[in-house]
């Protein structure tokens, strides 16, 4: 039974009503979750599970019709991640962030590949390892914004999450190419290193170009309205246009719909002064929440319990390997750059969430591998979906615990502006 049936041509009224119910249920369960000291995101996901796989009130076909909500939400999340990457703040820690990101991503990939290769073909293990490196920025950003986290852990995880997508795309592109060549026994062609990295590198370059160009235009636009009476409304217009353009063009041209708006957000935040940034931060904070509620509730409705059983022992090994890889890899990276004990202890736990990016990579892997080996492609798809279900429900809780124990969560009842750029160099 569906909440509201839609005809073959697409009943827009039904779709809008369903979206309203999704936001309502997400909001209610988010409040319930917070009452029990659980992150609201977990409540949104549970609401989605109830509306989707548990009751069947909302079908997968209806959820697919709402894909634009997920794309736009990810665009806003990525734009906000970029907003936090101010070069003035990162100039002394930039190389440290790169080292931490690469070490934890490579270590996670190596661990998952090594453990899963005892249960599946090496070609499949390589793909699973590559996808394991991906971290979902959405739950992390939601908790940071919701609880106004601030401190060393927050300052470290924001740029790490931002760079993680680029590192993950490159590793995935290389390892997927190797996997396909291993499975395609009819082909004697040996791929060169350039051929393996050509596609992911091209995707990243397009993302940087698009995001940079749109970001420059947005930055100049925001600077020109900094003293206008209705600047908050115009600021919102510019932000929405930026997110829509970067996300839409990225999807159309085959670039990264996360990396592109993230680059735009980075360019904008490095072009404007403190007052403009605070205005931008407040504007996004009051506009985005309904979109985020819809995004996470829809994500919950997309999850299917049957894939957990289909994943079997490989899914369990993947999840355990990813947990160990992220936690020890982060500890190793932070030890190399001599981070504080607080960052060493809690960064790995905070990087466990996995959702949209991993699903996107698994679909890309499924499409490539199904051409040369059907069963192997299905294994990848089932394992990743099972992992997403697990980390979607547990990840936000673990992230909140990590930030709480790191003593970086403020009293959410206090309404105050988050301090930001202290450097007078960006004051106009």
pLDDT digits over 181-217, tens only? 776 654 445 556 566 566 667 777 888 899 999 999 9
In contact, 408 and 149? CB cutoff 8 Å: yes
Over residues 386-391, the mean pLDDT reads 83
- Please give the backbone phi and psi of residue 132, each rounded to the nearest 5 degrees, phi first: -60, -25
Segment (H or E) for 27: helix 12-35
Q: What is the pLDDT of residue 144?
A: 85
d(CA 379, CA 371): 14
Architecture of domain 67-294+304-413: Up-down Bundle (1.20)
How is residue 152 written in tokens?
Answer: 């060393």
d(CA 397, CA 39): 6
| 274 pLDDT tier (thresholds 50, 70, 90) | low
Place of tokens 């319990």: 305
| 11 pLDDT tier (thresholds 50, 70, 90) | low
Q: What is the pLDDT of residue 324?
A: 95
Q: Where are the alpha helices (DSSP H) in 133-230?
A: 137-146, 152-183, 193-224
| 409 pLDDT tier (thresholds 50, 70, 90) | confident
In contact, 284 and 142? CB cutoff 8 Å: no
Q: In terms of pLDDT, which residue wins out, 348 or 201?
A: 348
Residue pLDDT, tens place only, 214-264: 999 988 888 887 665 667 777 888 888 999 999 999 888 877 777 888 889
pLDDT above 90 covers what percent of the chain?
16
Q: What are the DSSP calls for 366-389, one per residue?
A: HHHHHHH-HHHHHHHHHHHHHHHH
Q: In terms of pLDDT, which residue wins out, 302 or 116?
A: 116
Q: CA–CA distance from 153 to each of 119, 142, 161, 416 (Å)? A: 36, 15, 12, 21
How is residue 211 written in tokens?
Answer: 């995001």
| 277 pLDDT tier (thresholds 50, 70, 90) | low
Residues near 188 by Cβ (< 8 Å), separated by ≥ 6? Answer: none
Q: What is the pLDDT of residue 428?
A: 34
Between 1-10, 25-34, 330-339, 347-356, the lowest mean confidence (pLDDT) is in 1-10
Q: What is the pLDDT of residue 328?
A: 94
Q: What's the N-to-C CA distance of the chain in angstroms?
A: 59
Task: Assess whether pLDDT exceeds 70 at residue 414.
Answer: no
| 8 pLDDT tier (thresholds 50, 70, 90) | very low
Phi-psi region of 37 (alpha: psi -120 to 50; beta: other; left: phi over 0): left
How is residue 121 written in tokens?
Answer: 């073909």
Residues near 145 by Cβ (< 8 Å), separated by ≥ 6? Answer: 80, 285
Residue pLDDT, tens place only, 279-314: 667 777 777 888 888 888 887 787 777 766 767 888
Nearest 10 degrees: CA dihedral of 15, 17, 19, 22?
-130
Task: Assess whether pLDDT exceeds 50 at residue 427.
Answer: no
Phi-psi region of 218 (alpha: psi -120 to 50; beta: other; left: phi over 0): alpha
- Residue ranges of domains in the chain: 12-64, 67-294+304-413
């Amino acid at each position: 039974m569906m909440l509201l049936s839609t005809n073959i041509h697409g009943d827009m009224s039904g779709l809008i009503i369903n979206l309203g119910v999704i936001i309502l249920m997400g909001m209610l369960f988010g409040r319930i979750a917070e009452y029990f000291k659980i992150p609201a995101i977990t409540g949104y996901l549970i609401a989605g599970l109830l509306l989707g796989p548990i009751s069947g009130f909302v079908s997968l076909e209806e959820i697919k019709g709402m894909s634009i909500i997920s794309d736009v939400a990810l665009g806003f999340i990525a734009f906000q991640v970029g907003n936090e990457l101010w070069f003035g703040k990162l100039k002394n820690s930039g190389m440290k962030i790169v080292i931490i990101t690469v070490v934890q991503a490579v270590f996670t990939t190596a661990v998952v590949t090594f453990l899963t290769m005892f249960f599946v073909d090496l070609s499949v293990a390589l793909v699973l390892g590559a996808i394991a490196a991906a971290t979902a920025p959405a739950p992390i950003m939601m908790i940071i914004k919701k609880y106004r986290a601030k401190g060393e852990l927050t300052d470290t995880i924001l740029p790490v999450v931002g760079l993680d997508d680029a590192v993950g795309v490159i590793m995935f592109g290389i390892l997927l190419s190797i996997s396909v060549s291993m499975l395609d026994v009819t082909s004697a062609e040996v791929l060169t290193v350039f051929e393996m990295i050509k596609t992911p590198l091209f995707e990243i370059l397009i993302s940087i170009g698009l995001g940079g160009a749109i970001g420059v235009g947005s930055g100049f636009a925001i600077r020109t309205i900094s003293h206008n009476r209705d600047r908050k409304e115009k600021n919102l217009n510019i932000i929405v246009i930026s997110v829509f353009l970067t996300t839409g063009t990225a999807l159309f041209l085959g670039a990264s719909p996360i990396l592109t708006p993230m680059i735009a957000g980075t360019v904008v935040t490095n072009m404007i002064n403190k007052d403009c940034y605070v205005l931008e931060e407040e504007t996004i904070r009051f506009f985005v929440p309904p979109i985020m509620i819809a995004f996470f509730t829809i994500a919950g409705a997309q999850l299917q319990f049957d894939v957990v059983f289909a994943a079997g022992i490989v899914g369990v090994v993947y999840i355990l390997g990813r947990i160990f890889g992220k936690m020890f890899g982060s500890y190793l990276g932070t030890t190399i750059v001599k981070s504080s004990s607080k960052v060493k202890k809690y960064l790995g736990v905070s990087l466990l969430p996995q959702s949209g990016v991993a699903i996107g990579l698994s679909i890309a892997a499924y499409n490539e591998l199904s051409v040369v080996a059907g069963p192997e492609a299905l294994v990848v798809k089932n394992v990743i979906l099972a992992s997403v279900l697990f980390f979607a429900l547990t990840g936000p809780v673990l992230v909140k615990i990590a930030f709480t124990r790191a003593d970086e969560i403020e009293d959410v009842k206090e309404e105050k502006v988050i301090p930001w750029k202290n450097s007078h160099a960006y004051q106009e």
